[in-house]
Structures are given as structure tokens and as C-alpha cells.
Amino acid sequence: MSDNTALTEHDIVHALCAPDAASLYSAARALADDVFGRQVFLRGVVEFANHCRRNCLYCGLRAANTDVERFRLDDEEILHAVSFAAAHGMGTVVLQSGEEAQGDVRRVGALVREIKRRHNVAVTLSLGDYAEDHYRYWRDCGADRYLLKVETTDDALHARMRPGTTVTERLARVETLQRLGYETGSGVISGLPGMTPRILARDILRLSAMGLEMIAVGPFIPHPGTPLGAERAAVDIEQALRATALLRLLNPGANIPATSALDSACPPQDSGTQYPVSDTRLNNQDSAHSPYGKGGREQGLAAGANVVMPSVTPERVRRNYAIYPGKNTVQCSVTEAVRQLKLRLEHAGYQPSDAIGASLSGRFRAADPM
Ligand code: 5AD
Ligand code: SF4
């Protein structure tokens, strides 16, 4: 195997812009097959509140978007969704919310304790920026993992997209989480307005240098209720897929999701792509004759991803967790959506896995020459 740790910024820009990416995808998938086989880890995401104090320019949940019907699930509803996930073969549950102005830190801690008492699952938190003491408290309560996406490591672009925050602060928080012993995840949005291939290449390299257990990349999808809603550019799913493949090559043992944003940009079955996709030569698709095939998630897996993260948020509120259009818009029940997702995975030649699915990054780090 070639030494992918030697990929330079120039190589990555080249791979992001090359006319064809078939060999990139097949190398990334072959590596994922070597490390994880055809297993795909399932993470059930409970989106338990959509209040947010921030005003990220790209996000539908931003505080200034008054069109959102805000909700907060009670403990019983959250625990019910968690039980559903555990009963449906998900080895990890992710508790996710917008960034609450005054998040109830004790309540989250109590929920984590209760989930760990009831179920043999890993608990991931994805709640945004909090003080170190709070992260430590949740860790002490039993939280295993934390997801905190940097979105982009470019100082100017980050400051523009996430008013009131900086890359330095965000990365420092990621390091804090790592120091506290969380399996830590981060990631980026590809194709943000103003993001060049060079910026994305630097993001990929930076994320790959951080020793993360999870790394995600999803394509930017304009949301009409945001300042970026009028962006006319097509959703560049191809670029997100290439970034996913490059992340796999640089991080063989990391957990890398086929992001929900890929599915929203390129819905499965014949439901019709809701957004123009910039490149229709999506040449990495599995050829299985699947009635469920060719969704964005299958393409993410074919580009080297090994995780999918279905929403298990109750039907009553799930459509209000509209970070970007197409998110949580499925018409069917959560049970049916999860059943269909598993079928899609199987039809594309993968095995949905109920394992807790710890990252194998450590194994590769240990083998790294110093
Ligand atoms: N397009 C794609 N991804 C988005 N996110 C938020 N808004 C968008 C958008 N318009 C992603 C960010 C955030 C996660 C909750 O959703 O990466 O961390
Ligand atoms: Fe809030 Fe997260 Fe959306 Fe930013 S991306 S507005 S922090 S929910």
C-alpha cells in the first residue's frame, strides 16, 4: 500500500479537482474493506432540542431564523428514542441539539447516566461549545464520545460563517475533549460559499493531523431561511465524496460517516434529486441491482465511509430539526426509515453492524513511526 500519510496539499487539491475520481474511490473503499470489512456501524441520532444561540450563516436552526418551530423533548421522549435505537441494533446513540443559551448541564448528565444504566450502548454527545468543567462532568457521567465539528479551519472563512467564534477556540475545545478521554470527532462542511479546493485540502490535512477517532464531511446545502439561502451554486456532492475518500486514505482506522447531508443532497430511490447536483458522473456507485440504491449514503460508503447515522428523533418533532433542506423529511415512521436504511445497506453489499464500533485509529497511530 502506498504511504498516504505523505499526501501533500498539492496532491489533495489535485485529487479534488481531477476529471475522474474512480481510482480515488476504489482505493479508499479497499482500505475501508481492509480495516472494517463490509461492516457499517449504525449510530442512532436523537435530536432532542433545536434551540440555538448561534447564528451560523449556513444553518437553518440559527437563532435569527424565526420560521423554526422550536422544541425540547422531555426525558421520557429522549429515553424512548434511545430504547428504540438500542432495540434496532444501534450500538451507539448520539444526543444532539442546537447550542442552548443555558443548556441544562445536570439534566444531560443524568440522561447519560440513565442511558448507560439501561443499555449497553456507547453515548456520543453533540451539543456544541461548553466549558471544560461541563465536558468533564458529562464524561464522569459516562459519556463516551463527543462530536464537535470545526466546519472549516480557515480563519477568515470560519469567522464569516460562524459569527462570534474562532477556529482557535474551536480547535482548543476539540483538544480539551481529547484530553478528557472522549473518543472525539470533528469535521467540515465542503463547498461552503468562499471555500476553495485549497481551503478544503488544508482542512483535510489539519483534521488528519489531530488524531481524531471520527471525521465527517458533508456537502453544503443552502437553506432558504439563512443568509446563504439564495446561493445558486449546485450542491457539490462529488467534492464531499472526494473529501471523504481522501480522509479515509489519511485516516485508515477512523470512523467516517456517510453523512446524512449526502442523502439529503442525493436522495435514494426515485424520489428525484431535490437540488441540482453538480456532477452527474457519479462513478463510484455499487452496481448491485438495488431498488434502494444510488442514494448519497451508498456513495459515501463506496468512497470509504464506514458509519451511518440515522435520525431516531420522534416523528412529532423531527421535521423541525431542519439544519438544511431535505434533513428529516422522510414521510414514513422512524421504524420504517431505519428498516429501509438497513435494506439499502444490505442491497449495496454492506452489513449493518450493531457493534459499539470504537474507532481503530489508535491501532494505526501505534504503528506510526515517530
Ligand atoms: N449544509 C450542510 N451541512 C450543514 N450543517 C449545518 N448547516 C448545514 C448546511 N446548510 C452541518 C454542520 C453542523 C451539523 C449539525 O450540520 O456541519 O455541525
Ligand atoms: Fe446552532 Fe450548530 Fe446550527 Fe450553528 S450549526 S446555528 S451552532 S445548530
Tell me the pLDDT tens digit for each residue of 11-25.
Answer: 999 999 999 999 999
The percent of residues in the chain predicted with pLDDT above 70, rounded, is 90
CA 162 to chain centre: 18
In the predicted model, what is the mean pLDDT of residues 340-364?
Answer: 92
- What is the extent of the structural domain holding 248? 4-367
223 touches ligand 1 (CB under 6 Å): yes
Partner residues linked to 186 by β-bridges:
215
Closest atom of ligand 1 to CA, residue 59: 7
Within 13 A of 254's CA, how many CA atoms are on the CB side?
Answer: 29
Closest CA relative to residue 124, chosen from 146, 108, 148: 146
Quote the ligand 1 centre to 260 CA distance (angstroms): 10
128 within 8 A of 148, measured Cβ to Cβ: yes
In the predicted model, what is the mean pLDDT of residues 258-264?
Answer: 92
Residue 302 or 286, more confident: 302
Quote the ligand 1 centre to 220 CA distance (angstroms): 7
Quote the ligand 2 centre to 54 CA distance (angstroms): 6
325 touches ligand 1 (CB under 6 Å): no
Return the residue whose CA atom lies nearest to atom 2 of ligand 2: 98
Mutating to test ligand 2, I would choose from 51, 55, 58, 61 the residue with most ligand atoms within 8 A of its C-beta, which is 61
324 touches ligand 1 (CB under 6 Å): yes
Quote the ligand 2 centre to 104 CA distance (angstroms): 17
Dump pLDDT digits (tens) for 118-175: 999 999 999 999 999 999 999 999 999 999 999 999 999 999 999 999 999 999 999 9
Dump pLDDT digits (tens) for 135-145: 999 999 999 99
54 touches ligand 2 (CB under 6 Å): yes
> What mean pLDDT is reported for the chain?
90
Q: Read off the CATH number of the domain in which 289 is found.
A: 3.20.20.70
- Identify the band that residue 294 occupies on the pLDDT scale cut at 50, 70 and 90: confident
Mutating to test ligand 2, I would choose from 65, 99, 151 the residue with most ligand atoms within 8 A of its C-beta, which is 99
Residue 217 or 278, more confident: 217
218 touches ligand 1 (CB under 6 Å): yes
Q: Which ligand is nearest to the CA of 58?
A: 1
Please state, in angstroms and rounded to a whole number, the distance separating the CA atoms of residues 306 and 39.
Answer: 7
Q: Give the cell for residue 184.
A: 472525539
For residue 276, pLDDT over 60 is answered with: no
Return the residue whose CA atom lies nearest to atom 4 of ligand 2: 56
Q: Give the cell for residue 359.
A: 474507532
Closest CA relative to residue 299, chosen from 221, 354, 244: 244
Closest atom of ligand 2 to CA, residue 98: 8
Return the residue whose CA atom lies nearest to atom 6 of ligand 2: 62
pLDDT value for 369:
47
59 touches ligand 1 (CB under 6 Å): yes
151 touches ligand 2 (CB under 6 Å): no
Q: How many domains does the structure of the chain reveal?
A: 1
Type and span of the H or E element at 45? strand 39-49
For residue 66, pLDDT over 50 is answered with: yes
Quote the ligand 2 centre to 365 CA distance (angstroms): 32
Which is it for the CA torsion 96, 51, 267, 232, positive or negative?
Answer: negative
Quote the ligand 1 centre to 190 CA distance (angstroms): 10
Quote the ligand 1 centre to 59 CA distance (angstroms): 6
Please state, in angstroms and rounded to a whole number, the distance separating the CA atoms of residues 145 and 126.
Answer: 9
